[in-house]
Amino acid sequence: MADPVNHPPHYTSHPSGIECIQITEHMGFNLGNAMKYIWRADLKNDSVEDLKKAQWYIERELAKKAKTAPAIEDDAIIASLMNTPEPLSDAQEYQVHKGAREYHG
């Protein structure tokens, strides 16, 4: 008898005999979820929807990697190499100027 909670057929019916979670539990969240949706795409009713979900998680992972990838142009890296304080963001500069105006009337 199939166990829809612990071992649903769309994760356990791969011809290799491997269950999806045996692979994805060794991956990060976004990539594991992408793999899950790819794994079950042909085993559920709407494979296009599952592939779009996989794409969504892959795009999130790519965005995450792009944000954390070191870049020599990064102001924080340049500032630390020059031993100077990191430049203020536009929002931080606004708060400084706003505070100065409020202080001086």
Cβ-proximal residues to 75 (8 Å cutoff; 6+ apart), any chain: 86, 87
> For residue range 89-99, what is the model confidence (pLDDT) as tens digits?
666 655 555 55
Label residue 39 exposed, middle or buried (CB < 10 Å: 0-12, 13-18, 19+): buried
Predicted confidence at residue 105, as pLDDT, reads 47
Residue 54 half-sphere exposure toward CB, CA atoms < 13 A:
17
Which position has the higher pLDDT, 27 or 21?
27
**Model pLDDT for residues 23-65, shown as the tens digit of each residue:** 899 999 999 999 999 988 888 778 899 999 999 999 999 999 8
C-beta separation of 33 from 25 below 8 A:
no
pLDDT computed for residue 46 by the predictor: 81
If one compares 75 and 24, the residue with the highest pLDDT of the two is: 24
